[in-house]
Every structure is written in C-alpha cells, then in structure tokens.
Amino acid sequence: MSTALDNSMLTLVTFIPLAGALLLLFFPRRDRDIRLFALVVSLLDFVLSLHLPVHFQRGQTAFQYEVNNLWISNPNIHYHMGVDGVSMWLVVLTTFLTPLCVLISWNSINERVKEFFILLLVLQTALIGVFVALDLFLFYFFWEATLIPMALLIGVFGHGRRVYAAVKFFLYTMVASMFMLAAILWLYAKTGTFDFVSIQTAIHNGQVENFGGAATWLFLGFFIAFAVKVPVFPFHTWLPDAHVEAPTAGSVLLAGVLLKMGTYGMFRFNLGLFPEQSRSNASWIMVLALIGIIYGALVAMVQPNMKKLIAYSSISHLGFVVLGIFSFTQAGLDGATFVMLAHGVSTGGLFMLAGILYERRHTYEISEFGGLATPMPVYATFFMVIMLASVGLPLLNGFIGEFLVLSGAFRDRAVYGILGATGVIWSACYLLWMYQRVFYGKVTHPVNLSLPDLSGRERAALWPAAAVALVMGVAPLLWLNAIDPAIQTALAPFAQLASKMVGR
C-alpha cells in the first residue's frame, strides 16, 4: 500500500464527513436525497476507515498513520494526528455507528432534515478528530467542537424537555473542559509545545520546570474534564437528561462514542502524561468507579423509563472502563478498551431499539408495553441478542471486556474485583427484568397488538450491531492483538514506577 495513502488516511477519514456536511449545505431541500447522501457519505467513511485496521502494524508500539504539519507557528500548533491500537478502534467504532444512526433517523426525523444530517456529520468529524489528535491543542479543538452539534441535536431535535437537557449538557461539559484548557495552557507555557509526544518525553525526563508542585493540579484538571464526560459518579447527572431528551441518533452517538472520549482521555492523557499522579490518585478514582458501577445499576433497576434505564446502565458500564484503566494492569486496560468498544455497539444497539419502539408508540415508559414478543417477534429477537451482549453473556461482546477488567481489578486489590463483579449480576437483573416486562406475558395494552414488526431499513440498522456483537464475543483477538501493544506502551512507565518503589 502506498505510503501517501497511509499518510493522508487519517485526514481523509476525519474530514470526509465534514466535507459531506458542507456539500449538504448547498443541497436542495429534498429530504429523501439528503438522507441518501448522508448515508453514502457515512458509509464511504466507514469503508475508508477500515483501511486503518487492515494495514495496521500489529507488533509496533509507536503511533501509526502519523501526519505532522505545522498549522500555526505562534503558538506552536501542529496538525499532528496518529493512532495506536486503542484510538484506531475507537475511530472505527465511530464510523461504524454513524451509518446506523443515519438509517435509524430515516423516518423519525422529518422536519429540518437537512440541518439534522449536517449536524450529525459535523459531529462525526469532531468525534474522530478527538481520537486521532496528537497535538493537545488540536485535541482540545475537536473536544470542544463536539459540544455544539451534540447540544443542537439534543436541543432542536429532542423530545419534551430538550432545551433544559441541551443546556445542562453543554454547561456541564463546557465548565469541566475549562479546567483541562487551563492545564493544557500551563503545559504549553512551560514546555513551549502542544505536541503530546514531546510533552510526554519532557515530563518523563523531568525537563518541565515546577512540574512537581503543579502535577497533581494538572492531573486533576484533565481528570475533571474527562470525568464529567464519562461520566464518573458524582458528575453523572447530565447524562440521563441528555439521553432521555435526545433523538435516537443523538443517544446512539452520545452513549456509543461521546462517553468514550472521556475514558479515552483518561487513558491517553491522565495515564500518558501523569503516571505518578495516576498511581497516587488511583484509589479514590477506583472507589468512585465502583460507586458508579453499583449505583448506576441500582438506579437503572427502578427506572420506569426504558431510555433512562439504558442511560443509567451506561453509567454502570463506563464504571468498568474507569476501574480497568486505573487498575494499571495489562488485563484491566485491555478489558477497559474492549468494554469501550463493546458498550458502543451494544448500547448503541439498545438505544436504536428503544428508538424504534418510540417511533411506534411515542413513549419510553416500560409500563406501556408488555407481551411485545407476540406482535413483534423479529424485534424481540434482536432485542434479546443485543440485551444479552450488554448483560455480558459469554460468546457475546460484553463478556470479554468485563471479564478482563474484573481480573485486572482483582489483581490490583481483591475487594475491587469482588465489588465490581456484583455489577455484572446487577446488570443481568435490570436488563432481564426490563426484557421480561416489555416482551413476555400477555399484551396488556390493545394498541400494542397491531404494532408493525421491523421494516427492512430497521433490520439493516440492527443486523450490523448484532453481528458485530457476536463476532467480538467469539473472536476478541481480532481486536485485542492491536490493542495489546498500545497498552503495553502505556503501562511501561508504571513498571518503572513499581521498580522504583521496590528499590527504595
């Protein structure tokens, strides 16, 4: 494969959606064509992004497909992009989910269609940008850029209390990311560069002046921005509101990708730049993660609203990711990355399923349903598969990640592993109980008897999610063999730290 293509691949994958959005701007307002065009653009982007894993050098630990050009000379900002095994898969997750989002919004969005798909594609560019940026400035740029389209998607196309939810979402994340900006500026003031790799080396070699005094604050500055995004308990209150009010596609991207920006940030920047501070702060962060796992699950249990239930289940699942990241074990981090991907597919799928039901009945209340397996057998089957993936049934994707995380956490401290493991049980409880109430028994509301089953378009949106959930569960190594080297590199400083401590 030509190197020119390799070099421009990340730029292409990142900006094709944006280019599509700009073209859409000048499109005539023929809704069908607009939808079709958005689908073509997002599929094209997905196909192109597959180039990344296909030509990825599995054994290599450095960043790949790098581009590094000067963008602005003062301040010293580079257009520096590159991926490792972790970020590459997150990019593919994003490009995988977007076409599904287009499909699922086909009929549910029938007003201001053009604006909707423009926002969706702009959001995609920003999301991919977050994962591939290796310049702190560029990263912050994309990070903030995700806010506006997402807030507008919720606020303009959402349900009842959409404005409240959009503003809450925007303010929470905006305020938190200000702290990250302050930390980034501090690093720039001391090192004169935004380059992730250069800053990492400078910190590692102790060349940053006054670093010792500021390091904990910098760590917290980054952490708070990411913790709100994940969200880590107690910063989670924006999430259920945002999810319940968001349109289906918004929820899919929000749960599937946006939340991962937070955990990815923790992995890349908190661990990457501040290994010592990560180590010393790990205990309380892990406690928060455990609270998130258990609290999220318990609250999910009592939700009468299906979408809110899935939202709280996200808090619980993302708790696993944080737990794995701060266990500093190979298994824990491998698992955390795998959970990120698996959760993106399965929860994305669950939100699509909930959205399909909403299109038919305009409600998410679980009590409004019951016995749906009779009128909608295909729907019930898809729901079953994807729900079981989310529960963590072996052979489906949820199991691998959670198992690895738990074994990592167990190795770090047994009690973490034990408490975390209860989360798996809880998730089985609330999801299965929800499934039972919605699908089994007699049809309690006569309206539900005549609900149509899945249309071809809806099946086209669900098949990929279900299939990938199965493949990820059966052959996790396809993913893990790229993730593994990246984790090893990330953990190298921790091994040194440990030996330093032993040496003392």
Partner 1 sequence: MTSANDMTQVIPQAADYVRILPEIVLAVFGMTVMVLDPFIEERRNQKTLGIIALLGSLAALVATLFQSQYPGLGFWNMVQVDSFSVFFHFLVAAITAVVILTSFEYMKVQRIRAGEYYALVLFGAVGMSLMSSAVELVLIFIALEISSISTYILAGFRLRAAISSESSLKYFLLGSFATAFFLYGVALMFGATGSTSITTIANALHARDIPLLAYIGVALMFVGLGFKVAAAPFHVWTPDVYEGAPAPVVGFMSTAPKAAAFAVLLRVMFQADAPGRLWLIWVVAALSMTLGNIGALVQDNVKRLLAYSSIAQAGYMLIAFGGLPNNGIAAVMFYTASYAAMNVGAFAVISHISGEGERFVTLEDYEGLGRRSPLLAAILTIFLLSLIGIPITGGFFAKFYVFSAALQANLVGLVIIGVLNSAVASYYYLRLIVVMYMREAREDVPVSPIPIGLGAALAISLAATIYLGVLPGRLLDYAARTATEWAR
| Least distance to partner 1, CB of residue 143, Å | 9
| 347, HSE (Cβ side, Cα atoms, 13 Å) | 32
Using the rule CB under 8 A, is 258 a contact of partner 1?
no
Specify the residue, 140 or 351, whose C-beta has the smaller distance to partner 1: 140
- H helical segments located in 105-161: 113-132, 136-145, 147-157
Q: How far is 100 from 348, CA to CA, in rounded Å?
A: 9
Using the rule CB under 8 A, is 73 a contact of partner 1?
yes
Residue from 9, 39, 152, 258 that binds partner 1 (CB under 8 A)? 152
Using the rule CB under 8 A, is 19 a contact of partner 1?
no
Using the rule CB under 8 A, is 44 a contact of partner 1?
no
Q: How far is 443 from 178, CA to CA, in rounded Å?
A: 51
| Least distance to partner 1, CB of residue 174, Å | 5
Specify the residue, 181 or 197, whose C-beta has the smaller distance to partner 1: 181
Using the rule CB under 8 A, is 166 a contact of partner 1?
yes
> What count of other Cβ atoms lies within 10 Å of the Cβ of residue 395?
12
| Least distance to partner 1, CB of residue 104, Å | 23
Which residue(s) pair with 133 in the sheet? 81
Residue from 15, 27, 188, 211 that binds partner 1 (CB under 8 A)? 188
Residue from 12, 44, 48, 174 that binds partner 1 (CB under 8 A)? 174
Contacting residues for 287 by C-beta, under 8 A, at least 6 apart: none
Using the rule CB under 8 A, is 182 a contact of partner 1?
yes
Specify the residue, 198 or 329, whose C-beta has the smaller distance to partner 1: 198
Contacting residues for 457 by C-beta, under 8 A, at least 6 apart: 103, 106
| Least distance to partner 1, CB of residue 328, Å | 30
| Least distance to partner 1, CB of residue 91, Å | 20
Residue from 82, 155, 275, 292 that binds partner 1 (CB under 8 A)? 155
Using the rule CB under 8 A, is 287 a contact of partner 1?
no
| Least distance to partner 1, CB of residue 156, Å | 6
Using the rule CB under 8 A, is 211 a contact of partner 1?
no
Q: How far is 227 from 217, CA to CA, in rounded Å?
A: 15
Using the rule CB under 8 A, is 215 a contact of partner 1?
no
- Buried-exposed string 327-355: b where 16+ CB fall within 10 A, e elsewhere: bbbbbbbbbbbbbbbbbbbbbbbbbbbbb
Q: How far is 384 from 380, CA to CA, in rounded Å?
A: 6
Specify the residue, 214 or 460, whose C-beta has the smaller distance to partner 1: 214
Using the rule CB under 8 A, is 178 a contact of partner 1?
yes
| Least distance to partner 1, CB of residue 126, Å | 10
Instruction: Report the chain's C-alpha Rg in angstroms.
Output: 22
Q: How far is 14 from 268, CA to CA, in rounded Å?
A: 19
| Least distance to partner 1, CB of residue 29, Å | 12
SS3 53: helix
Using the rule CB under 8 A, is 144 a contact of partner 1?
yes
Q: Show contacts with partner 1 in window 189-208 (CB under 8 A).
A: 189
Determine the residue type at 341: L
Using the rule CB under 8 A, is 409 a contact of partner 1?
no
Q: Which helix (H) or strand (E) holds 10?
A: helix 3-25
Q: How far is 288 from 436, CA to CA, in rounded Å?
A: 31
Using the rule CB under 8 A, is 492 a contact of partner 1?
no
Using the rule CB under 8 A, is 141 a contact of partner 1?
yes
Contacting residues for 321 by C-beta, under 8 A, at least 6 apart: 230, 263, 336, 339, 340, 343, 405
Q: Which residues bind partner 1 (CB under 8 A)?
A: 72-75, 140-141, 144-145, 147-148, 152, 155-156, 162-163, 166-167, 170-171, 174-175, 178-179, 181-182, 185-186, 188-189
